[in-house]
Amino acid sequence: MPYLTGDRIMLREYRMTDLPHIREWVNDPEITDNLSDIFLYPQTVENTEQFVNSMIQGSPNHKGFVIADKVTQDYIGQIDLVDIDWKNRTASLGIVIGKKPYLGQGYGSEAIRLLQELAFHSLNLHRLELMVYEFNERALLLSKVRIPRRRQASPEAVSQGQVLGCDLDGHLAGGI
């Protein structure tokens, strides 16, 4: 598959050279507090190597991409389609901007627009969903890329002793 290119970024394949960049953020609570529960515990180098190897090998129900600088191809973050249901043409989305200087600069929105284009027009998916914790202010700004809030989910997480809700955002192919 060719690279997916935007104004400032490209979505490219994972490479073993991405490992040190992923290691920079994978145990940083400023980044991981907004992510899934797999980051509740310290991630070892071996955990990260296994993840990168699994992304390089690929899976029919999981398509992953590195968000990279368009010119240099340097790692910025990653975006993945997970739990792809080919029969019902749905998938969930996971995204992280791991390089702190790029946070809040619109790189995540640009990556989502590129992935939506691929998902809806090339992979023939019908719906993408993104689970967003209510305290994740950056992710809540994704309405800019037309991922409307579909419903309030029941409390899903506990952080620092507080029960937190999360929103399940969805986007149908016809709206892109």
What is the chain's mean pLDDT, rounded?
81
pLDDT digits (tens, 9 = 90+) for 16-28: 999 999 999 999 9
What does the DSSP 8-state code read for residue 71?
Answer: T
CB distance 3 to 12 below 8 Å: yes
Residue 32: predicted pLDDT: 82
Proportion of the chain above pLDDT 90, given as a percent: 58
Please spell the DSSP secondary structure of 89-149, one letter per residue.
TEEEEEEEE-SGGGTTTTHHHHHHHHHHHIIIIIS---EEEEEEETT-HHHHGGGGGT--E
Q: Which residues contact 153 (CB under 8 A, 6 or more apart)?
A: 131, 165, 166, 167, 168
Q: And the tokens for 174?
A: 């016809």
pLDDT at 157 over 60: no
Tokens at 84, concatenated: 């792809």
Q: Which domains does the chain have, with CATH numbers?
A: 4-130 (3.40.630.30)
Predicted confidence (pLDDT) at residue 168 exceeds the cutoff of 70: no
The span from the CA of 136 to the CA of 140, in Å, is 6
CA distance 47 to 45: 5
Q: How far apart are CA 98 and CA 107, in angstroms?
A: 11
Residues 6+ positions from 131 with CB-CB distance below 8 Å: 92, 153, 156, 166, 167, 168, 169
Among 61-70, 126-135, 137-146, whose mean pLDDT is lowest?
137-146
Token output for 166? 């999360």
At 172, list the tokens: 């149908």
Give yes or no for residue 49 having a pLDDT over 90. Answer: yes
Strand pairing category for 90-97 and 127-133: parallel
